[in-house]
Amino acid sequence: MESFRGQALSWELKHGVVELALHRVPCNEIGSLTLEELEEFVQALDGFEGEAHALIIYSEIKAGFCAGADLRELYRRSQEMGRQDAAQGVRDYLERIHRVLTAIDASPLTTIAAVHGVTFGGGFELALVCDLIIADKMARFCFPELRLGLIPGFGGIPRLKRDLGNAVVRDLLLTGRSFNATKLQQVGLVSQVVAEGEALRIARATATQLGKFDRRTAIAAKKFIKPIPYEELRQEIDVFCELFVQPAVEAGLRRFAESEDAQPYLP
């Protein structure tokens, strides 16, 4: 399917570049709807291999790229189920998310996350599966999970370890503080920092550049350079699920769900 317009996201193939646009208000929170549409997307992604050389993921929402998991939906669903069913439900959800993100991570297309604004939690993890992150200067990155008694569960820890020095990973995860784009470029995670509102345009220019090179060479190089940390990804799911059933997490999720603020767990 060359194009698709869903409720949470859309995609289109244009001039050899697949563009995946996120557009679920308020800030592309990843809940069941977004997950279903992402699953459709990765099925379609296989079919683009012969026709496309790059994938750009970006957001049409002004507030930012993606604020992470839909915690309000997660809390509501966990309350509707018994404890054991909720634990299994979370594991099933994580495994589905992991399948989607690993498919993008391992895609033969060269992938670019064009980010702006809030890029938190699962949103940061979505950016991390891409080969390049192009961020506008207002992008802000954070793993706030520790504030909820959790760790990142969408593969963030193994992918951070793949890309960064351990000291920076510790800073990000243990302080839960947010970093601006300039800082993440300084530590080597963000490829380019651009003017406000320019990330998508520059991602498109970068994708055009990528199209000049032999596809087989680019595919072989990417496979060689970018290992997928399968074992650690599996371990991350296990640790997340063990933590999820702790009382502190339920309390943290309840506070989040009951707050009317957009980002109630900051600062």
Partner 1 sequence: MTIEAVDLPIDWGETMTAQKETLEEVLNLAASHFKVPRAKLAPDDDFFKTLGIDSLQALDLLTRLENHFRIELPDYELQGVSDFRTLAERIQARL
Per CB under 8 A, residues contacting partner 1 are: 27, 63-64, 117-118, 137-140, 175-180, 182-183, 261-264, 266-267
* Length of the chain counted residue by residue: 267
User: What is the DSSP pairing of strand 179-180 with strand 140-142?
Assistant: antiparallel
CA distances from 165 to 12, 14, 156, 159 (A): 36, 36, 14, 11
Under a CB-based contact definition with an 8 Å cutoff, are residues 140 and 118 in contact?
A: yes
With tokens 């950016």, the residue in question is: 127
Residue with smaller CB distance to partner 1, 88 or 186: 186
Q: What is the smallest separation between the CB atom of 116 and partner 1, expressed in angstroms?
A: 10
CB of 265 to partner 1, least distance (A): 9
Q: Which is nearer to partner 1, 117 or 121 (CB)?
A: 117
Cis omega (within 30 of 0) for bond into 267:
yes
Check: CB of residue 53 under 8 Å from CB of residue 61: no
Q: 247: which residues sit within 8 A by CB, 6+ positions away?
A: none
Q: Provide the minimum distance between the beta carbon of 117 and partner 1 in the complex, in angstroms, as a whole number.
A: 7
Instruction: Write phi, then psi, for 132 (nearest 5 degrees).
Output: -130, 140
Q: Which is nearer to partner 1, 177 or 234 (CB)?
A: 177
Nearer to partner 1, 38 or 61 (CB): 61
Q: How far is the CB of 182 from partner 1 (least distance, A)?
A: 7
Smallest separation, CB 27 to partner 1 (Å): 8
Minimum CB distance to partner 1 smaller for 117 or for 158: 117
